[in-house]
Structure 1
Amino acid sequence: MQTTEVLLIRHGETDWNKENRLQGYLDIPLNAEGQRQAQALSLCLAKIKLDAVFSSDLQRARDTAQPLAAAHGLRLDVHADLRERCYGVMEGLRRSEVAERYPQAFAALDSREPDVRYPPGVNVAETLNEFSARAIGAMRRILTNTKHRRIAIVSHGGLLDCIYRHAESMAMGEKRRFDILNASINRLIWNGVQMKLVDWGDVRHLEHLNATTLDETDR
């Protein structure tokens, strides 16, 4: 049975990541650091053969994925169902602001209640179980319909969380005990039936960026 290696990548940094704001469906761009991370990611993977690059339709994911696709001469394949979870009224707020304004919703968010739907905002919120089903379904559709040996998928922290839990048979409500880092490379194998986790949270390609940032800060 043919296997497919999946490089599952979180988008680069945005200003809202730094401010600890919930982004969800809101279309927030990469900041300058995120753009540098996207270029570092592309350079790191330039010598690894990729057969296809997929991305969420939100610009923070697209703009992370596009340099990678271009480096391999590939057309970026965009999928709306690879989006982040929709958080309803919480979108655009810092977690501290959510806790103050919507304490019940924040408690459900913090405890990972799987079937709670937060109050609507610009967009209607998804429950955690609805989001998980969408995330896993999106991945399975891509993998079932491809004959590629190695692909990259650029998405969002929430989707990466769902896929990690699915691959590791970890309950959605269980407290997270793994990192989900901007522009990280996370490796899985698809055997035609299930996903197996190989490596998680690789950010070695960003080390020179961190060193540059520290040098500039020290001046």
Structure 2
Amino acid sequence: MSVQSSSPVLAPTQLIVIRHGETAWNRERRLQGQLDVPLNSHGEAQAAALGMALQAEPLDAIYSSDLSRALQTARALAAGRPLAVRTEPGLRERHFGEFQGLTQVEVSERYPEGFAAWQARVPDHAPAGGERLVDFYARVVDITLSLARRHLGGRIALVAHGGVLDCLYRAAHGMSLDAPRKHELRNAGINRLHSDGHRLTVAQWGDVAHLDARGLDEVDQRHVR
């Protein structure tokens, strides 16, 4: 006689994944990486609008990169909720080493070979002192799946960076790291994913209806973070 398990099957974790609001360096098309750049006034307004848009949506936890631009955005989302923002360094932007603090034009002039590898999205390339794309991707996907397993069946928010969102979109769609990006990564946009703790799927992407104007994309050139 077979015995059937009565263990409940939990629904997937719902993930609301958000890129931080705008910074002055976003507007200057300057590479931020892991340098700690705060929101500008427009970014603060975007973060407030994000909080208002999601205020009625229950959340089990809010996690944020520990860089201030993400943390400020997460705190606006947490306003009025009985939740403290939990910082998670694993959600940081990619470390761009010697490229950090430079505009794309400056990178192309000072480091032409590195610039070409960056533009081509070479997975094993790392700027001097920085992080390989393949390692960044593994870091982001690993921490996201770990958090999904921690809150299996619940709903959590992750506030991070353009590069982080790009990794999650690629993981959900099975995209290679060197494939050109066609998906948008808007400041303070709302992106929804589901996860069983082992895989990711996209439920909604790039919702910016709550913003007065479309948030800056991760630059038309697709690379400045």
- Asked if the contact 1:7–1:153 (Cα under 8 Å) also holds between the matched residues in 2, the reply is yes
Q: Distance in 2 between matches of 1:149 and 1:93?
A: 40
Report what 1:188 is aligned to.
193
Deviates more, 1:192-201 or 1:108-117: 192-201
Provide the secondary structure at the position in 2 that maps to 1:205: coil
Compared CA separation, residues 116 and 149, structure 1 to 2 (3 A): same
Q: Please give the root-mean-square deviation of Cα atoms over the aligned residues, in Å.
A: 1.3
Report what 2:51 is aligned to.
42
Provide the secondary structure at the position in 1 that maps to 2:49: helix
Q: CA deviation at 1:3?
A: 1.4
- What code does the residue aligned with 2:180 have? K
**When you count helix as a share of all residues, which structure comes out higher?**
1
Report what 2:218 is aligned to.
none
Report what 1:175 is aligned to.
180
Deviates more, 1:52-61 or 1:140-149: 140-149
Q: Distance in 2 between matches of 1:111 and 1:153?
A: 28
1:187-218 Cα offsets, whole Å, 9 max, x none, are 011123311101110000003798xxxxxxxx
Given candidates 115, 123, 132, the residue that maps to 1:114 is 123
TM-score by length of 2: 0.88
- What code does the residue aligned with 1:100 have? E
Compared CA separation, residues 187 and 108, structure 1 to 2 (3 A): same
Provide the secondary structure at the position in 1 that maps to 2:197: coil
Provide the secondary structure at the position in 2 that maps to 1:166: helix
Residue 149 of structure 1 pairs with residue 143 of structure 2: no
Compared CA separation, residues 209 and 116, structure 1 to 2 (3 A): closer
- Asked if the contact 1:52–1:148 (Cα under 8 Å) also holds between the matched residues in 2, the reply is no
Report what 1:128 is aligned to.
133
Moved over 3 A (4+): none
Provide the secondary structure at the position in 2 that maps to 1:108: helix
Q: Distance in 2 between matches of 1:103 and 1:209?
A: 32
Q: After superposition, where does 1:203-214 map in structure 2 within 5 Å?
A: 203-207=208-212
Q: After superposition, where does 1:6-17 map in structure 2 within 5 Å?
A: 6-17=15-26
Provide the secondary structure at the position in 2 that maps to 1:71: coil
Q: Distance in 2 between matches of 1:147 and 1:128?
A: 28
Q: How many residues align?
A: 206
Q: Distance in 1 between matches of 2:157 and 2:81?
A: 11
Report what 1:92 is aligned to.
101
Provide the secondary structure at the position in 1 that maps to 2:134: helix
Q: CA deviation at 1:11?
A: 0.2
Report what 2:36 is aligned to.
27
Gaps of 5+ in 1: 211-219
Identity between Structure 1 and Structure 2 (%): 45
Gaps of 5+ in 2: 1-9, 216-225
Provide the secondary structure at the position in 1 that maps to 2:159: strand
- Asked if the contact 1:40–1:206 (Cα under 8 Å) also holds between the matched residues in 2, the reply is yes
Compared CA separation, residues 93 and 46, structure 1 to 2 (3 A): same
Report what 1:4 is aligned to.
13
1:51-81 Cα offsets, whole Å, 9 max, x none, are 1111000000000000211222201011011
